[in-house]
Amino acid sequence: MSEIPVIDLSAALGGSPAERLRVGREMDRTCREIGFFTVTGHGVSATAMDNLRGLANTFFALPLDEKQRALHPVKGTPRGYIALGVEALASGNAVATPPDLKEYYHFGRETWPEEAYYTSPEGQRYFRPNLWPERPAGFAAAAAAYYAAMETLTVEMMRLASLGLGIPEHFFDDKIDRHITAMRLNHYPAQVAPPAPGQLRAGAHTDYGLLTILNGENVPGGLQAQMRDGRWLDVETDPRTFVVNIGDLLMRWTNDRWMSNVHRVVNPPDSAAARSSRLSIAFFHHPNYDARIECIASPPELGSESGSELGSAKYPPVLSGAYRDEKYRQTRVAAA
Ligand SMILES: O=C(O)CCC(=O)C(=O)O
Ligand SMILES: [Fe+2]
């Protein structure tokens, strides 16, 4: 595979069963091969994307002391502003590197029902109030609008995924209806000093959940996915499309049929380093915290080249929330 496949969702989102199956099968093909694809025809308004990207850039351009007012008072809480030097994503895959050259803003759902699932002590670990900065105005509303658009898209994409996997179309519905998705606005600053040896914008890692839906700028110093022969493929992030990749939990759920691929964000070339910042918006779609991820075997008619063996699970079951908590713990390399 020499480039990331592009999947046009418009016909499938239009509802024709034959088109839905065709698109599901396209997802299956690429998710078995590389675990990455670009989606067009996704139905998300350009305004929702541009608003959030614009406001995120405004936020990151504020003076550091102002951004730091959005640090969470309880260290280690995955909400609010996280400064440079705190996270090393490669640590989640057991590789020690210097911290990633990025700052980010972490948020989740804005409101939730008064029900024990959300408000119990366990629920509060995943449903935490967001911590919005005073500026820019309209940040919270733009984030909520984007989050809602992603929720609609991911419900549809998980149904298409099911069709592609040959399992009931609604298999995932009740495992994602109270999902714990977090979002990050990642900002990779222009690099005025050379990075330390082995230091990247984001070290090589896999994502943790089901689908990661990424929207970004198309500038130097970007995303790369690893191919099966070990080489790195540049992944173009375009402001009008989404790059989707599979996370660990979907790989486990599909018993390794689908690949949670290693990816990273590289530094800009020396010649452009001092001028090139980059922003990306990531929606890390993650099942309900109490969803139990148990390997499902693939139907034999879809073939078994991926190595999945009917009936023999490659992983023990894991709970969605506990899995993510452990990854957050592993990747936090400094207190913040
Ligand atoms: O910024 C990007 O392009 C990708 C970021 C990423 O892989 C992550 O935050 O998990
Ligand atoms: Fe990632």
Predicted confidence (pLDDT) per residue in 63-90, tens digit = 999 999 999 999 889 999 999 999 999 9
The alpha carbon of 208 and the centre of ligand 2 are apart by a number of angstroms equal to 8
Q: How confident is the model at residue 306 (pLDDT cuts 50, 70, 90)?
A: very low
Burial of 47 (0-12, 13-18, 19+ CB in 10 A): exposed
Pocket flag, ligand 1, residue 207 (CB < 6 Å):
yes
Which of 49, 48, 40 has the alpha carbon at shortest distance from 13? 40
Which tens digit of pLDDT belongs to each residue from 84-98?
Answer: 999 999 999 999 999
pLDDT at 103: 98
Using a pLDDT cut of 90, give the percent of the chain over it. Answer: 88
For residues 167 and 21, give the distance between their C-alpha atoms in angstroms, rounded to a whole number.
11
Pocket flag, ligand 1, residue 255 (CB < 6 Å):
no
The alpha carbon of 210 and the centre of ligand 2 are apart by a number of angstroms equal to 12
Ligand 1 atom with minimal separation from the 282 CA: 9
Which ligand is closest to the CA of 105, given by its number?
1
284: left (phi over 0), alpha (psi -120 to 50) or beta: beta
The alpha carbon of 114 and the centre of ligand 1 are apart by a number of angstroms equal to 33
Residue type, 164: G
pTM of the model: 0.95
Query: Would you list the domain boundaries of the chain?
Result: 6-335
pLDDT at 332: 87
User: Which class is 6-335 in CATH?
Assistant: mainly beta
Burial of 213 (0-12, 13-18, 19+ CB in 10 A): buried
pLDDT at 14: 85
pLDDT at 309: 46
Find how far residue 164's CA is from the centre of its chain.
Answer: 20
For residues 326 and 328, give the distance between their C-alpha atoms in angstroms, rounded to a whole number.
5
pLDDT at 335: 66
